[in-house]
Chain A
Amino acid sequence: MNKPFDYLISLNNAGVERGDKWLVRGVDFGVQSGEIVTLIGPNGSGKSTTAKMALGVLAPTEGTATRRPKLTIGYVPQKIAIDWTLPLTVARFMHLTGGITKSDAEGAMTATGVEHLAKAEVRNLSGGEFQRVMLARAMARKPDLLVLDEPVQGVDFAGEIALYDLIQKIRDDLQCGILLISHDLHVVMAATDRVVCLNGHICCQGTPTDVASSDEYRRLFGARAATTLAVYEHDHDHTHLPDGTVRHADGTVTEHCHPEDGHHHHTEDATPPNKDEAHHVG
């Protein structure tokens, strides 16, 4: 069933050599439409290199990287530094690589909860705000393939869950393939269809449960992995919206979730509501 053209992108025994060192080697996997593939691995295991091969930014030294012709890609890189010399508002940044309409841009910004930041300068955003803006920009392109390099970095726990929910929603709405690189070895988002575990090569891949129970995974990550690969599963009786408010199952939106509700203490890390109001004034 896995004929090559079923894949949006596929890497075939691909590897990149720099100097005398292989950054990553023997990478074999693909991403299909509507599928979420998560790449995990320790620092320097070649996650970003693998993603760049998939994107076509890096040419593989050996093996092949194939992309479906006329593939629309949305990319959220790991880091973008915006210099002071560059006057760049969020609204302008949304149209950086072109091809999107104003209403697509506004829709995506509403979906990630950054519509109030349209006139803000990109370099003044907090880490979490910037990640959401980058995600909005990538999703507004209506991509066939979305590549996310550590999309939840700099985002607190509540924001992380909200972002993962959003990523899943993007997949459901656009039916695009998603290649997600995770900074966390021990936790992958619940909606992941396949986990690829890298350590200079592919050490194992499969469903999150397969990978968690594989010997290679345990050997690579040692004792801590004995706690097994946890999966983000959480109660959907309420959702933390990106602006820090909470939507409950009955559709009401409040500033906080009810303190007596047990496991919600993380809301104190979320953006305090008054900070957000300050944004609106400015």
Chain B
Amino acid sequence: MLDDFFTRAIIAGVGVALVAGPLGCFIVWRRLAYFGDTLSHAALLGVAFALLFDVNLTLAVFVVAASVSLALLMLQRRATLSSDSLLGLLAHSALALGLVVLAFMTWVRVDLMSFLFGDILAVSVMDIAIIYAGGGIILGVLVMIWHPLFAATVNPELAEAEGMNPDRINVIFMLLMATVIAISIKIVGVLLITAMLIIPAATARRFAQGPEQMAVLAAVFGVLAVLGGLGGSLHWDTPSGPSIVVAATVLFLFSLTPLVRVFIKSGARSKA
């Protein structure tokens, strides 16, 4: 079954969506969309390093993304520039550096488009193993830190006053972000990872009555977007990343239509 490239892409994409949904809820709640962008742009530098030093791509992307997020934490403490300026600085200098390094490596033939927008043909059995191992770790850690992370999201001072440690939790959360970006780069590509985090979560918000429910629904919408997007990608021969994001956007737009109220109301009634 795994011989078929399309099956491999679906399995890998579903794995990414299951992790990106719940993590994406926190991106939306904490207004970290630009932070996600910064990490994913920096991922291209990771791609360049992976090719330059001939190391595992996922590992290299994780190391670069984690370094960028820790650098951001340190720069924020010294706070001379505002956070969004710092993010812009890190995002684009890492992206530019990545492109320059890639251009220097004349001996490597790189299909840049596949890293920017994802390539379903490139998914190997090894990639699937990495996605599910990495994804399993992310979800496991997320479940472990869920309560303090959520409390710190609502109000960090309240969480700290009542005996939680928001600073440590934030560092763990940033490492989880770096991991999800590292494992999803082949499917969605550098430029569109943030969309996989944000759009399913935003879609889930309209249906959710609690944070836990929203996390589960975001994973469900993410999976639907992957199935629809990859199907479209195969049918119309479009790049996988943009196709998945378009499918996710269609779901989001659907959630805005009055049709949805019927679902929400009937759901509420069956509960009562």
Residue positions of A touching B, CB distance < 8 A: 52, 55-57, 72-75, 77, 80, 82-89, 92-93, 96-98, 141, 147
How would you classify the secondary structure of chain B's contact residues: helix, strand, loop or mixed? helix
21 interchain pairs (CB within 8 A)?
Answer: A52-B157, A55-B160, A56-B161, A57-B157, A57-B161, A73-B162, A74-B162, A75-B158, A77-B158, A77-B161, A80-B158, A83-B29, A85-B205, A86-B29, A87-B208, A87-B214, A89-B209, A92-B210, A96-B158, A96-B159, A97-B147
Asked if B155 is an interface residue, CB under 8 A from chain A, the answer is yes
- Closest A residue to B159 by beta carbon equals A97
Interface residues in B161-200 by Cβ distance below 8 A to A read 161-164
* A80 proximity list for chain B (CB < 8 A): 154-155, 158
* B153 proximity list for chain A (CB < 8 A): 86
Asked if B213 is an interface residue, CB under 8 A from chain A, the answer is yes
Asked if B5 is an interface residue, CB under 8 A from chain A, the answer is no
Contact A87 B209 (CB under 8 A): yes
* A86 proximity list for chain B (CB < 8 A): 29, 153-154, 211
* B214 proximity list for chain A (CB < 8 A): 87
Contact B151 A87 (CB under 8 A): no
* B211 proximity list for chain A (CB < 8 A): 86-88, 92
- In the complex where A57-B161, A73-B162, A88-B211 touch, is A96 in contact with B29 (Cβ < 8 A)? no
* B28 proximity list for chain A (CB < 8 A): 85
State the CA gap A93–B151 with chains docked (Å): 9
- Residue in B157, B160, B213 with the greatest tally of chain A CB atoms within 10 Å: B157
State the CA gap A88–B210 with chains docked (Å): 5
- Residue in B150, B155, B208, B211 with the greatest tally of chain A CB atoms within 10 Å: B155
Residue positions of B touching A, CB distance < 8 A: 28-29, 31, 147, 150-151, 153-155, 157-164, 202, 205, 208-211, 213-214
State the CA gap A125–B46 with chains docked (Å): 47
State the CA gap A97–B155 with chains docked (Å): 10
- In the complex where A88-B211, A89-B210 touch, is A55 in contact with B161 (Cβ < 8 A)? yes
Contact A88 B160 (CB under 8 A): no
* A52 proximity list for chain B (CB < 8 A): 157, 161
* B160 proximity list for chain A (CB < 8 A): 55-57
Q: Which of A82, A87, A93, A141 contacts B205 (CB 8 A)?
A: A87
A274 to chain B, nearest CB (A): 23
State the CA gap A77–B156 with chains docked (Å): 11
State the CA gap A73–B161 with chains docked (Å): 7
- Closest B residue to A134 by beta carbon equals B158
Further 11 A-B residue pairs, CB within 8 A, beyond A55-B157, A86-B29, A87-B205: A75-B158, A77-B158, A84-B205, A85-B29, A85-B205, A86-B153, A86-B211, A87-B210, A88-B211, A89-B209, A97-B151
- Closest A residue to B150 by beta carbon equals A96
State the CA gap A162–B173 with chains docked (Å): 42
State the CA gap A82–B155 with chains docked (Å): 9
- Residue in A72, A97, A147 with the greatest tally of chain B CB atoms within 10 Å: A97
A282 to chain B, nearest CB (A): 11
- Closest B residue to A55 by beta carbon equals B161
State the CA gap A56–B153 with chains docked (Å): 18
State the CA gap A97–B160 with chains docked (Å): 10
Contact A88 B154 (CB under 8 A): yes
Contact B163 A97 (CB under 8 A): yes
State the CA gap A74–B164 with chains docked (Å): 12
State the CA gap A55–B160 with chains docked (Å): 8
State the CA gap A97–B164 with chains docked (Å): 8
Contact B210 A141 (CB under 8 A): no
* B210 proximity list for chain A (CB < 8 A): 87-89, 92
Contact A77 B29 (CB under 8 A): no
State the CA gap A84–B161 with chains docked (Å): 25
State the CA gap A72–B162 with chains docked (Å): 7
State the CA gap A263–B211 with chains docked (Å): 46
- Closest A residue to B156 by beta carbon equals A57
State the CA gap A72–B161 with chains docked (Å): 9
Q: Which 9 A-B pairs have the closest CB atoms?
A: A55-B161, A75-B161, A97-B162, A87-B208, A57-B157, A85-B28, A57-B160, A96-B151, A80-B155
